[in-house]
A and B are shown apart, each in its own frame.
Chain A
Amino acid sequence: MILWWMLACTDAPTGPWTREAALAPQLARMDLDRDGRIIGPEYEHVRYAGAFFPAVDTDHDGFFSVAELDTLTTGQDPVTFFLGLTRMQEGPQGRGGMQGGMQGGPPGMGRPGGGAPGGFQGPSGPGAGPSAGPGASIQAGAAPSAGPPGHAAVWTALMLLREEVLARDPGASVPSSEEIAAVEAAGGFDTPAAHAALTTLETASTRLGLGFPASLRATAP
């Protein structure tokens, strides 16, 4: 029990690189009362969208050990974890699914010749491993819907050009930020207000030799 604490507290660990040495520092961070062991409340203090303490305390001794952290970490795909959060935000069905922990992962995570139970079973070639599972998940699940297209590009271009004009001639007549915002909000250039704003900006820009993009040229309302 104390071994991980010793490993974690050594300024410059020496000796072999081990899985225990890699994971023990995380237990030290969780050890709120610094007694060298992690009990349920200390685990729950940082638990988020993962298994509850009884599920991770696999030997039921009341403490969360390095070996149990290893098992937990090996079983949690960080990509699908985040997708799980999304599902949780989207509705109760996803929320219920998250409470069982994110246990769908594959990895062997470096165990020579072996892997996590039900997961990636070790050496099977470069083409093997966490392929279709999480890869397919992120591509299917994380891709957001297109959402409203907006006109941020138009806004950006107009604001940049406005700033350029003012940088060269602070007294130039240019549309205000609000007028440019109105152009964007209108969703087109064919309103009287948009036409006026764009014409003003094009006139000032052309006068200063900055040109004006054809795609933003005002059309008659």
Chain B
Amino acid sequence: MRPNRRRRGCAPGGVCFGVRVPALYILVAIGLSGCAPAADPARPPDLVVVSLDTLRADRLGAYGNRDGLTPSLDRFASEAVLFEHAYTQATNTGPAHASLFTSRYASEQDAGVRKPAIAPETKTLAEVLDAYGWDTAAFVGGGDLAPEMGIGRGFGTWSSKVDFGSLWHTTPLALSWLDQRPAGAAPSLLFVHGYDVHMPYLKPTPFGYTRADKDAVGPGQDAVRSTTERMLDGWFHGGMSGLMHAETSEVRPRSPDARARTLAVARTDRVPPREAAATDLALVRGVYDGSVTYADAMFGLLMAGLQDRGVLDRSVVVVLSDHGEQLGEDGVFHHSWGVSDAEAHVVLMVRLPGGAEGGRRVTGQVGLIDVMPTLLELVGAAPPARIHGQSFAAGLRGEPFAGRPVAWTQGGRDFMLLGARTPAGRLVYSGMPARSPVAAELVETAALPGPSFTAHGSLDAAAQGALRGEMAPWLRTLSPAPAQQDDATLPDALRASLRAHGYWDVQP
């Protein structure tokens, strides 16, 4: 497929389209195993990307969970190629999607964590497809994907009607957009996103308490029912609503001072600290699981809508999560704190037209950063220069596919955590967290390089050394971008909504 130069022209700024062989999308169009319905081989498949925000991979039956939380997603897995070891490149919504759409890392984007605008010289997936004459539309749940965040660059439509909205909000709009497309319209990229699993976890009856006791009392219940709960450093943080603070009994604070620090925050907020028991943790996790069942139902409704319109079987449908969620495992709750599996291991499934190759499982490591080059390969479009992703189309075809040797994840609310994940284990660089302008100033003034590398798994000394060598260029590029640096540039309502959902935990 060639860029539609007559209609769109070559995008200024230097997207270099090379000569492409359209054979691959012909393979996709006819079904890689020959079992898909007939399709026009001259037309690439449509693309549908579904992002389920904050969904941990380990909650899906297809990823080994045995609690029956996700029958719709599990069914989808049976019709798709599932990547067992998929990792996000950033554990926060905005940067993770920026990597998804640009195949570049979070620290290469134009701004900090809170406003991860895409760097001007970077080409997005939507921009590339637009140059080929595609129609592109996105229906997202606001928050970190609100238009002001700049993630939607290149999309013809970027609809964000509700902050922290669900597929409940975005699915009708997406299906309406499909309904309005005329017969014979250009190929399309449709992106649908929802915060169904995102905090606040509690979802409406009858989903919210399916997996937890609604009559339980205690700090866990209080946290679940508090709009402004923020769970920091092993503590439930009640915030302005003043419900409570509590330390988890399962995980100790990461440093002896964490307890004192949290007590000080509690004093500042004038709320009493309350210890949480294991039952409190179980309740929080159960309510999170309830939100997973809700997301699964909403996802099933979306799939039904796509199928009713004939879109499902003529499209490549990618289902992913942008990051996971800490549920106390590392002494914290929420996300964007770390780079461990709880946050970094994500859902990634690709349904080819007609469900071809359905049920295949790929063990090689991949990242969300690899999605863009894969999709471009599947539709015969040339990827832009300067991307870091590697196509995993070979894995979709069932060909030998080793995956990427290292999957990188940036974490922390200032990208000062960098994880290098190999099949043998993980090496994590932990820099100094700069969660506030004052702390950032401290980092700059003191020129602190970050104190530690930590190895997980069975990385030997040689492997650690090699990874450190690869990390070195990264670490030189990490600026101590304070989490609040963009605060003043955002609309008041959006900023307040983000704060209500657990961001900007430290006030300047």
Contact = CB atoms under 8 A, between A and B. Distances in A.
Interface of A: 8, 12-14, 16-19, 21-23, 25-26, 29-30, 43, 46-51, 69, 72-73, 76-79, 81-83, 85-86, 89, 102, 105-113, 115, 120, 122-131, 134-135, 138-140, 142-157, 159-164, 167, 177-178, 180-181, 184-185, 205, 210-216
Contact of B268 (A18, A102, A184): A184
Nearest to B491: A139
**Which among B180, B208, B302 has the greatest number of chain A C-beta atoms within 10 A?**
B208
Contact of B204 (A78, A115, A131, A147): A78
Nearest to A213: B441
B300 A22 contact: yes
Contacts of B457: none
Given A49-B205, A144-B228, A160-B433, A129 B172 contact: yes
B448 A126 contact: no
Given A8-B71, A25-B71, A26-B210, A144 B500 contact: yes
A150 B242 CA distance: 14
B446 interface: yes
Contact of A211 (B72, B180, B309, B445): B445
A85 B435 contact: no
B293 A29 contact: yes
Contacts of B200: 82
A154 B496 contact: no
Contact of A129 (B173, B267, B441): B173
Given A123-B176, A144-B241, A153-B436, A78 B166 contact: yes
Contacts of A151: 268
Contact of B264 (A50, A145, A181): A181
Interface in B319-350: none
A45 to B, nearest CB: 8
A150 B237 CA distance: 14
Interface residues of B, number: 100
Contacts of A177: 257, 260-261
Interface string B3-36: 0000000000000000000000000000000000
A86 B142 CA distance: 20
Contacts of A46: 205-206, 208-210, 214
B172 A115 contact: yes
A108 B435 contact: no
A139 B78 contact: no
Contact of A109 (B301, B439, B492, B497): B301
B496 A142 contact: yes
Nearest to B302: A110
26 contacts: A17-B300, A17-B303, A19-B300, A22-B297, A25-B297, A26-B297, A46-B205, A47-B214, A48-B205, A73-B297, A76-B204, A79-B165, A79-B169, A83-B227, A86-B227, A110-B308, A115-B172, A130-B161, A134-B162, A142-B496, A151-B268, A156-B439, A156-B506, A160-B442, A163-B257, A212-B445
